[in-house]
Chain A
Amino acid sequence: GESVGLHLPTLSVQEGDNSIINCAYSNSASDYFIWYKQESGKGPQFIIDIRSNMDKRQGQRVTVLLNKTVKHLSLQIAATQPGDSAVYFCAENSGGSNYKLTFGKGTLLTVNP
């Protein structure tokens, strides 16, 4: 979910476990959602996206779930690896815009070997 001030929500998992990162979005008119991964010192990297006509979408080791009723998005990472350690944040095309995104502040995932 969203963070306040300088403190990001954090999730610490053991290598090999599954990770679930959550995001609450704000605009019920949003119909396109994206998850990004950002490693320290790098730009955000696209992971997976989903449109509002879907509830679930799977990629390689990742699954995104969308619950429009409660305006909630989650990212599931299977068999989490140390290389998955990063900040993950969701984005929504708030207001239904095709190109303008609103970003959450992110969740820090730490994978312990």
Chain B
Amino acid sequence: DAGITQSPRYKITETGRQVTLMCHQTWSHSYMFWYRQDLGHGLRLIYYSAAADITDKGEVPDGYVVSRSKTENFPLTLESATRSQTSVYFCASSEPTAPQYFGPGTRLTVL
């Protein structure tokens, strides 16, 4: 089915471990985004990408790494997870000057 998917949907990990969250979109949108959503903060941009091999920092990039080797995939890696990275993570995609469409989210718990 066309759309944007995220995996895993739920993840529990331990402090210090590396975790990768996957995002895949079938629309061939040029832009892709990673957000985290926490109570009291709303959606905050972590990283975004304007095209394959082009990425840039958002509002809260520390502790995260992204890559975009293919237009349709935009994985987010937590290199050494911390408890403060417990959150719900949303991936989104869009064309320029168009609305962003969001995936279903990944609920990450860092123990």
Q: Give the interface SS of chain A, mostly helix, strand, loop or mixed.
A: loop
Compute the total of residue contacts between A and B using a CB distance below 8 Å: 48
Determine the chain B residues whose CB is within 8 A of the CB of A62 once the complex forms: none
| Max chain B Cβ within 10 angstroms of own Cβ: one of A32, A34, A98, A104 | A98
Q: For the side of the interface on B, what is the size category?
A: 20 to 34
Q: Mark B78-111, 1 if CB is under 8 A from A, else 0.
A: 0000000000001000101101111111000000
Q: How far is the CB of A63 from chain B (nearest CB, A)?
A: 17
Q: Which of chain A's residues has its CB closest to B43's CB?
A: A103
Q: Are B42 and A106 in contact (CB under 8 A)?
A: yes
A-B contact pairs, 13 of them (CB 8 A): A6-B39, A34-B99, A42-B105, A43-B105, A46-B101, A91-B100, A99-B31, A99-B48, A99-B94, A100-B58, A101-B45, A103-B42, A105-B42
Task: List residues of B whose CB falls within 8 A of some A CB.
Answer: 31, 39-43, 45, 48, 50, 58, 90, 94, 96-97, 99-105
Please name 6 further chain A to chain B contacts, defined as beta carbons within 8 Å, in addition to the given A42-B105, A98-B97, A105-B41, sorted by A numbering.
Answer: A4-B40, A6-B39, A42-B104, A43-B90, A49-B99, A99-B97
